[in-house]
């Protein structure tokens, strides 16, 4: 049959069929994936790794409180969900193992090297204890309220938030949710003295987290995250106030050293006045000036050198509580009161 003699409807049908065939032969187009937003400023910019660390219903979290990294490169998370207080991840965010059902007020997590082994010091706000365990949860030692110090009438006035450790084995316990004292212990675990508190210039809702650090004159000191007070405080090892570093608009819950910089987790930018306000992460230089706010507005210093009130931006974080900077520059963040969310991981750009 001569195609030119086909009726118009038949010719239209053939043209449509040809177009459909051509469409089928076209390569499939992949939908473009929008990259995660860049957070931070200057040399400290990060991008979130989507879905890292999210586990199934059999491994729940409630509030995520503490983070640490062991010598195997595993990431340890402390949560107050008594299904599994300690969750151990590999760097890919997969579950390695989990343990712990006895810490309903789990709060502070410190991983310490003692001789040839690593151990965990864990504080609990509800049981009013500090507990030392192996990495897989075997209890080695426990400390209840320091009755001998004479600052407490009963055990429940003592609510330890974190432990800070010297290379000598001595350690300090911050009573950040009780009466704001700092208690010092020997390497063997014997209480030796107490300082801080209101008579030592440590106000309530202050000493939440911190670290042993070297001050500007080379002396070892305690660097304390003073939470609701919006500043860091440097103390001598006998409790004398050496320096104060204001962080307006922040709520510093923990501070970690990363090389020449410090990294601070802020619970929120208007806490406790507004408990729906959201937090961010600050990076500080050697002079403790903020050089980047991850998930926050760029730091702004006035002509007189004073840091202006900081604020969150982008809504990435809810309430950061602790953080960890890994050897590959990755940043991990544990969050409090944040809808039972798992830790967040960010890659440095």
Residue 261: what pLDDT?
97
Confidence class of residue 13 from pLDDT cuts 50, 70 and 90? very low
pLDDT at 103 over 80: yes
- Who's near 124: CB < 8 A, 6+ residues apart? 103, 104, 105, 106, 107, 130, 131, 160
240: left (phi over 0), alpha (psi -120 to 50) or beta: beta
Neighbours of 157 (CB within 10 A): 13
- List CB contacts of 2: < 8 A, sequence separation 6 or more: none
**Is the model's pLDDT at 112 over the cut of 90?**
yes
The domains found in the chain, sorted by start residue, are 33-348 (2.120.10.30)
Work out the end-to-end distance of the chain between its first and last CA atoms, rounded to an integer number of angstroms.
Answer: 67
Predicted model pTM: 0.90
Give the model confidence (pLDDT) of 239-259 as tens digits: 999 999 999 999 999 999 999
**Whether pLDDT at 11 is above 90:** no
- Report pLDDT digits (tens) over 21-56: 444 444 445 555 677 899 999 999 999 999 999 999
Q: How high is the mean pLDDT of the chain? A: 92
Strands 220-225 and 181-185: unpaired
Instruction: Tell me 341's DSSP state.
Output: P
Q: What is the largest CA-CA distance in the chain?
A: 110
Rg of the chain, C-alpha, whole Å: 26
List, in sequence order, the alpha helices (H) in the chain.
Answer: 8-25
Q: By C-alpha distance, which of 212, 244, 220 is closest to 231?
A: 244
Residue pLDDT, tens place only, 148-178: 999 999 999 999 999 999 999 999 999 999 9
Collapsing DSSP states into helix, strand and coil, what is residue 210?
strand
Of the listed ranges 133-137, 139-143, 211-215, the one predicted with least confidence: 211-215
| 3-class SS of residue 226 | coil
Mean pLDDT, rounded, for 115-121: 97
Provide the edge-to-edge strand list for the sheet that holds 209-214: 209-214, 220-225, 231-235, 241-246
Q: How many CB atoms lie within 10 A of CB 296?
A: 27
């Amino acid at each position: 049959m001569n195609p030119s003699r086909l009726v118009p409807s038949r010719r239209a049908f053939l043209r449509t069929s040809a177009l459909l065939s051509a469409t089928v032969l076209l390569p499939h187009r992949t939908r473009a994936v929008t990259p995660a937003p860049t957070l931070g400023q200057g040399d400290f910019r990060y991008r979130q790794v989507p879905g890292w660390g999210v586990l199934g219903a059999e491994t729940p979290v409630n509030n995520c409180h503490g983070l640490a990294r062991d010598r195997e490169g595993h990431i340890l998370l402390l949560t107050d969900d008594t299904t599994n207080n300690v969750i151990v991840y590999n760097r890919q965010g997969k579950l390695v193992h989990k343990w712990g059902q006895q810490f309903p007020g789990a709060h502070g997590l410190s991983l310490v090297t003692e001789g040839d082994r690593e151990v965990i010091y864990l504080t609990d706000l509800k049981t009013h204890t500090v507990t030392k365990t192996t990495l897989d949860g075997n209890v080695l030692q426990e400390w209840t309220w320091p009755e001998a110090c004479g600052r407490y009438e009963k055990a429940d006035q003592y609510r330890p938030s974190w432990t800070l450790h010297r290379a000598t084995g001595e350690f300090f316990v911050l009573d950040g949710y009780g009466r704001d004292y700092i208690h010092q212990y020997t390497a063997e675990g014997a209480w030796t003295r107490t300082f801080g508190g209101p008579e030592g210039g440590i106000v309530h809702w202050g000493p939440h987290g911190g670290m042993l650090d070297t001050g500007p004159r080379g002396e070892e000191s305690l660097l304390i995250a003073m939470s609701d007070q919006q500043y860091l405080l440097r103390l001598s090892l006998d409790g004398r106030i050496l320096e104060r570093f204001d962080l307006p608009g922040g709520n510093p819950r923990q501070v970690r050293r990363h090389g020449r910089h410090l990294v601070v987790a802020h619970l929120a930018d208007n806490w406790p006045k507004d408990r729906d306000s959201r937090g961010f992460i600050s990076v500080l230089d050697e002079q403790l000036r903020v050089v980047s706010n991850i998930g926050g507005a760029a730091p702004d210093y006035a002509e007189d050198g004073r840091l202006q009130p900081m604020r969150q931006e982008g809504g990435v974080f809810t309430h950061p509580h602790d953080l960890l900077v890994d050897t590959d520059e990755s940043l991990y963040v544990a969050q409090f009161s944040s809808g039972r969310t798992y830790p967040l991981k960010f890659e440095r750009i």
